[in-house]
Amino acid sequence: MDDSLKLTSRQLRILEMAAEDQPYDSIAVKLEPPTSERTVKTQMALIRRQFGARSRIGAVLEAVKRGVIRLE
């Protein structure tokens, strides 16, 4: 895993669910504790910025490439 990344456990969970192609509203209610769709979108924007990705899928692909998450 890339040590330069500073993802929180919540951001990591959001990224994992995004990798499963779950929509933002679904991710929001599945988080513990549940949150708003807007908060999930904000967190995803921060995740994209850390990976230098322009899109959600770009962040997922970069996370896989760097060994942050695995696709099953």
* pLDDT for the residue 2: 60
pLDDT exceeds 90 at position 65: yes
Phi, psi of 51 (to 5 degrees): -90, -5
**Range 47-52 average pLDDT:** 96
CA-CA distance, 27 to 39, in Å (whole number)?
10
The yes-or-no verdict on residue 3 having pLDDT over 70 is no
What percent of the chain is modeled with pLDDT above 70?
Answer: 94
- According to the CATH classification, is domain 9-65 in 1.10.10.10? yes
More confident residue, 15 or 3: 15
Q: CA 28, CA 54: separation in Å to the nearest integer?
A: 21
> Where is pLDDT greater, at 59 or 72?
59
